[in-house]
Amino acid sequence: MSNNTKLDLPEIVPQHIAIIMDGNGRWARRRGLPRLAGHRAGTENLRRVIEACVEFGVKYLTIYAFSTENWTRPRDEVSGLMRIFDDVFDRELAELDRQGAQLRHIGRLDGLNDSLREKVRNGIAMTKDNDRLVLNVAFNYGSRDEIVHAIQEMIKDGLDSEEVDEDLVSSYLFTAQSPDPDLVIRTSGEQRTSNFLLWQSAYSEWIFPDVYWPDFGRDELLAAIQEFGSRERRYGGLVPQQT
Protein backbone atom coordinates (compact mmCIF):
# COMPACT_ATOMS: atom_id res chain seq x y z
CA MET A 1 0.00 0.00 0.00
CA SER A 2 1.53 3.32 -1.02
CA ASN A 3 1.76 6.13 1.45
CA ASN A 4 -0.82 8.05 -0.60
CA THR A 5 -3.36 5.24 -0.21
CA LYS A 6 -2.89 5.12 3.54
CA LEU A 7 -3.52 8.84 3.76
CA ASP A 8 -6.36 8.76 1.24
CA LEU A 9 -4.43 11.13 -1.00
CA PRO A 10 -4.99 11.11 -4.76
CA GLU A 11 -2.30 9.73 -7.09
CA ILE A 12 -1.31 13.26 -8.00
CA VAL A 13 -0.79 15.63 -5.12
CA PRO A 14 -0.48 19.27 -6.16
CA GLN A 15 3.16 20.26 -6.17
CA HIS A 16 2.27 23.89 -5.47
CA ILE A 17 -0.74 25.09 -3.48
CA ALA A 18 -1.55 28.79 -3.15
CA ILE A 19 -4.02 30.02 -0.54
CA ILE A 20 -5.98 33.26 -0.24
CA MET A 21 -6.44 33.27 3.54
CA ASP A 22 -9.76 35.10 3.69
CA GLY A 23 -12.52 35.49 6.28
CA ASN A 24 -10.69 36.47 9.49
CA GLY A 25 -12.92 39.50 10.03
CA ARG A 26 -16.16 37.58 9.57
CA TRP A 27 -14.89 34.75 11.80
CA ALA A 28 -14.38 37.32 14.58
CA ARG A 29 -17.68 39.14 13.99
CA ARG A 30 -19.58 35.87 14.26
CA ARG A 31 -18.12 35.49 17.74
CA GLY A 32 -18.73 39.09 18.73
CA LEU A 33 -14.96 39.75 18.76
CA PRO A 34 -12.95 42.60 17.22
CA ARG A 35 -11.58 41.98 13.73
CA LEU A 36 -8.01 41.83 15.02
CA ALA A 37 -8.94 38.80 17.14
CA GLY A 38 -9.82 37.12 13.86
CA HIS A 39 -6.48 38.04 12.37
CA ARG A 40 -4.73 36.58 15.41
CA ALA A 41 -6.76 33.40 15.18
CA GLY A 42 -5.81 33.26 11.50
CA THR A 43 -2.17 32.81 12.48
CA GLU A 44 -2.84 29.97 14.95
CA ASN A 45 -3.77 27.49 12.21
CA LEU A 46 -0.82 28.36 9.98
CA ARG A 47 1.49 25.92 11.70
CA ARG A 48 -0.99 23.06 11.22
CA VAL A 49 -1.42 23.88 7.53
CA ILE A 50 2.35 24.02 6.96
CA GLU A 51 2.82 20.74 8.82
CA ALA A 52 0.07 19.13 6.74
CA CYS A 53 1.72 20.31 3.51
CA VAL A 54 4.96 18.62 4.56
CA GLU A 55 3.01 15.48 5.53
CA PHE A 56 1.13 15.35 2.21
CA GLY A 57 4.22 15.94 0.08
CA VAL A 58 3.30 19.40 -1.19
CA LYS A 59 6.54 21.12 -2.20
CA TYR A 60 5.47 24.78 -2.52
CA LEU A 61 2.94 26.68 -0.45
CA THR A 62 2.14 30.31 -1.25
CA ILE A 63 0.01 32.24 1.23
CA TYR A 64 -1.62 35.61 0.60
CA ALA A 65 -1.17 37.50 3.84
CA PHE A 66 -1.52 41.17 2.90
CA SER A 67 -2.39 42.74 -0.45
CA THR A 68 -1.31 46.04 -1.96
CA GLU A 69 -4.94 47.10 -1.54
CA ASN A 70 -5.15 46.14 2.16
CA TRP A 71 -3.35 49.42 3.01
CA THR A 72 -6.70 51.14 2.39
CA ARG A 73 -8.18 49.55 5.55
CA PRO A 74 -8.59 51.67 8.70
CA ARG A 75 -5.26 52.67 10.23
CA ASP A 76 -5.88 50.68 13.42
CA GLU A 77 -6.47 47.49 11.50
CA VAL A 78 -3.34 47.96 9.37
CA SER A 79 -1.13 48.69 12.37
CA GLY A 80 -2.69 45.79 14.28
CA LEU A 81 -1.98 43.47 11.36
CA MET A 82 1.66 44.61 11.24
CA ARG A 83 2.03 43.85 14.94
CA ILE A 84 0.50 40.41 14.47
CA PHE A 85 2.85 39.60 11.57
CA ASP A 86 5.77 40.74 13.70
CA ASP A 87 4.67 38.37 16.50
CA VAL A 88 4.21 35.50 14.06
CA PHE A 89 7.83 35.78 13.01
CA ASP A 90 8.98 35.65 16.64
CA ARG A 91 6.72 32.71 17.39
CA GLU A 92 6.93 30.59 14.25
CA LEU A 93 10.31 31.03 12.63
CA ALA A 94 12.16 28.39 14.64
CA GLU A 95 9.33 25.91 14.09
CA LEU A 96 9.30 26.66 10.38
CA ASP A 97 13.01 25.94 10.27
CA ARG A 98 12.50 22.70 12.22
CA GLN A 99 9.89 21.61 9.66
CA GLY A 100 12.50 22.06 6.91
CA ALA A 101 10.60 24.91 5.27
CA GLN A 102 12.36 27.58 3.25
CA LEU A 103 10.84 31.01 3.67
CA ARG A 104 10.56 33.33 0.70
CA HIS A 105 8.78 36.62 0.26
CA ILE A 106 6.81 37.80 -2.75
CA GLY A 107 5.70 41.41 -3.08
CA ARG A 108 7.41 44.60 -1.98
CA LEU A 109 9.41 44.76 1.21
CA ASP A 110 9.53 48.54 1.06
CA GLY A 111 6.47 49.92 2.77
CA LEU A 112 6.98 47.66 5.79
CA ASN A 113 8.42 49.06 8.97
CA ASP A 114 12.12 48.47 9.65
CA SER A 115 11.61 45.83 12.33
CA LEU A 116 9.34 43.67 10.20
CA ARG A 117 11.52 44.07 7.13
CA GLU A 118 14.55 42.93 9.12
CA LYS A 119 12.65 39.93 10.50
CA VAL A 120 11.61 38.86 7.01
CA ARG A 121 15.19 39.20 5.74
CA ASN A 122 16.58 37.23 8.70
CA GLY A 123 13.96 34.51 8.25
CA ILE A 124 14.83 34.15 4.57
CA ALA A 125 18.55 33.94 5.34
CA MET A 126 18.06 31.49 8.22
CA THR A 127 15.97 29.00 6.22
CA LYS A 128 17.58 29.33 2.79
CA ASP A 129 19.04 25.80 2.74
CA ASN A 130 15.84 24.01 3.79
CA ASP A 131 14.27 21.85 1.11
CA ARG A 132 11.18 20.05 2.36
CA LEU A 133 8.77 22.87 1.57
CA VAL A 134 9.09 26.32 0.04
CA LEU A 135 6.81 28.80 1.81
CA ASN A 136 6.19 31.92 -0.26
CA VAL A 137 4.61 34.63 1.85
CA ALA A 138 2.75 37.16 -0.28
CA PHE A 139 2.98 40.26 1.82
CA ASN A 140 2.42 43.72 0.40
CA TYR A 141 1.75 41.75 -2.76
CA GLY A 142 -0.45 42.61 -5.72
CA SER A 143 -0.36 40.75 -8.99
CA ARG A 144 -0.79 43.87 -11.12
CA ASP A 145 1.99 45.58 -9.20
CA GLU A 146 4.15 42.49 -9.79
CA ILE A 147 3.51 42.66 -13.55
CA VAL A 148 4.25 46.41 -13.66
CA HIS A 149 7.45 45.77 -11.71
CA ALA A 150 8.44 43.02 -14.17
CA ILE A 151 7.90 45.33 -17.17
CA GLN A 152 9.95 48.07 -15.52
CA GLU A 153 12.80 45.64 -14.87
CA MET A 154 12.71 44.32 -18.44
CA ILE A 155 12.95 47.86 -19.78
CA LYS A 156 15.80 48.66 -17.38
CA ASP A 157 17.62 45.56 -18.63
CA GLY A 158 17.34 46.91 -22.18
CA LEU A 159 15.61 43.85 -23.63
CA ASP A 160 14.48 43.86 -27.27
CA SER A 161 10.79 43.19 -27.87
CA GLU A 162 11.60 39.95 -29.75
CA GLU A 163 13.30 38.56 -26.66
CA VAL A 164 10.12 38.83 -24.61
CA ASP A 165 8.18 35.58 -24.39
CA GLU A 166 6.10 33.88 -21.68
CA ASP A 167 9.06 32.20 -20.01
CA LEU A 168 10.93 35.48 -19.86
CA VAL A 169 7.96 37.29 -18.29
CA SER A 170 7.62 34.50 -15.71
CA SER A 171 11.29 34.86 -14.87
CA TYR A 172 10.77 38.55 -14.02
CA LEU A 173 7.90 37.92 -11.59
CA PHE A 174 8.42 37.70 -7.81
CA THR A 175 7.54 33.99 -8.12
CA ALA A 176 10.34 33.29 -10.63
CA GLN A 177 11.80 30.56 -8.41
CA SER A 178 8.53 28.61 -8.03
CA PRO A 179 6.47 26.63 -10.54
CA ASP A 180 2.95 27.91 -11.26
CA PRO A 181 0.42 26.84 -8.63
CA ASP A 182 -1.52 23.66 -9.43
CA LEU A 183 -4.23 24.51 -6.95
CA VAL A 184 -5.47 27.84 -5.58
CA ILE A 185 -7.69 27.76 -2.50
CA ARG A 186 -9.71 30.76 -1.32
CA THR A 187 -11.47 30.34 2.01
CA SER A 188 -14.54 32.23 3.29
CA GLY A 189 -16.86 31.66 0.34
CA GLU A 190 -15.68 34.64 -1.71
CA GLN A 191 -14.96 33.65 -5.29
CA ARG A 192 -12.60 36.17 -6.85
CA THR A 193 -8.86 36.57 -7.34
CA SER A 194 -8.42 39.89 -5.46
CA ASN A 195 -5.20 40.55 -7.37
CA PHE A 196 -3.48 37.25 -6.50
CA LEU A 197 -1.19 35.41 -8.96
CA LEU A 198 -3.10 36.57 -12.05
CA TRP A 199 -0.42 35.41 -14.48
CA GLN A 200 0.64 32.29 -12.60
CA SER A 201 -2.85 30.85 -12.04
CA ALA A 202 -3.86 30.81 -15.72
CA TYR A 203 -4.32 27.03 -15.58
CA SER A 204 -4.59 26.40 -11.85
CA GLU A 205 -7.55 24.55 -10.39
CA TRP A 206 -9.53 26.78 -8.01
CA ILE A 207 -11.35 25.57 -4.91
CA PHE A 208 -13.50 27.72 -2.60
CA PRO A 209 -14.07 25.95 0.73
CA ASP A 210 -16.96 27.37 2.71
CA VAL A 211 -15.01 28.01 5.92
CA TYR A 212 -13.39 31.13 7.30
CA TRP A 213 -9.61 31.01 7.31
CA PRO A 214 -9.13 30.43 11.09
CA ASP A 215 -11.23 27.25 10.75
CA PHE A 216 -9.14 25.86 7.90
CA GLY A 217 -6.83 23.06 9.01
CA ARG A 218 -5.44 19.67 8.02
CA ASP A 219 -8.80 18.07 7.21
CA GLU A 220 -9.91 20.96 5.00
CA LEU A 221 -6.56 20.87 3.20
CA LEU A 222 -6.88 17.13 2.66
CA ALA A 223 -10.43 17.60 1.30
CA ALA A 224 -9.18 20.24 -1.15
CA ILE A 225 -6.37 17.97 -2.33
CA GLN A 226 -8.88 15.15 -2.81
CA GLU A 227 -11.13 17.41 -4.87
CA PHE A 228 -8.10 18.48 -6.88
CA GLY A 229 -7.46 14.78 -7.56
CA SER A 230 -10.90 14.46 -9.16
CA ARG A 231 -10.37 17.40 -11.54
CA GLU A 232 -9.34 16.89 -15.14
CA ARG A 233 -6.78 19.43 -16.29
CA ARG A 234 -6.92 20.04 -20.01
CA TYR A 235 -4.84 23.18 -20.63
CA GLY A 236 -7.03 24.02 -23.59
CA GLY A 237 -6.38 20.68 -25.28
CA LEU A 238 -8.22 17.37 -25.18
CA VAL A 239 -7.63 14.52 -22.79
CA PRO A 240 -6.98 11.22 -24.60
CA GLN A 241 -10.01 8.90 -24.40
CA GLN A 242 -9.62 6.40 -21.59
CA THR A 243 -10.19 2.82 -22.66
CB-based closest residue to Mg ion: 22
Rounded-to-integer distance, Cα 185 and Cα 76, Å: 28
Q: Which of residues 72-131 bind Mg ion (CB under 5 A)?
A: none
Residue 180 interacts with Mg ion (CB under 5 A)? no
The number of residues that bind ligand IPE (CB under 6 A) is: 17
Helices 75-98 and 35-44: crossing angle in degrees, nearest 10, is 10
Measured CA to CA, the distance from residue 147 to residue 25 in angstroms comes to: 29
Cβ-count burial 173-192 (b if 16+ within 10 Å, e if not): bbbeebebbbbbbbbbeeee
- Is residue 188 part of the contact set for ligand IPE (CB under 6 A)? yes
List the beta strands (DSSP E) in 6-109.
Answer: 16-20, 60-67, 101-106
Question: Residues 3, 4, 22, 131: which is the catalytic one?
Answer: 22
Catalytic site includes residue 70: yes
Among 78, 147, 194, 211, binds ligand IPE (CB under 6 A): 194
The CB-of-12 to ligand IPE minimum distance in angstroms stands at 27
Cα 132–Cα 133–Cα 137 angle in degrees, nearest 5: 155
Build a one-symbol-per-residue string for 36-75: x at contacts with ligand IPE by CB under 6 A, - elsewhere. Answer: ----------------------------xxxx--x-----
The DSSP H or E segment spanning 185 is strand 183-186
User: Binding-site residue total for Mg ion (CB under 5 A)?
Assistant: 1
**Chain contacts with ligand IPE (rule: CB under 6 A):** 20-26, 64-67, 70, 81, 188, 190, 192, 194
- Chain residues binding Mg ion by CB under 5 A are 22
* Residues tagged active-site: 22, 70
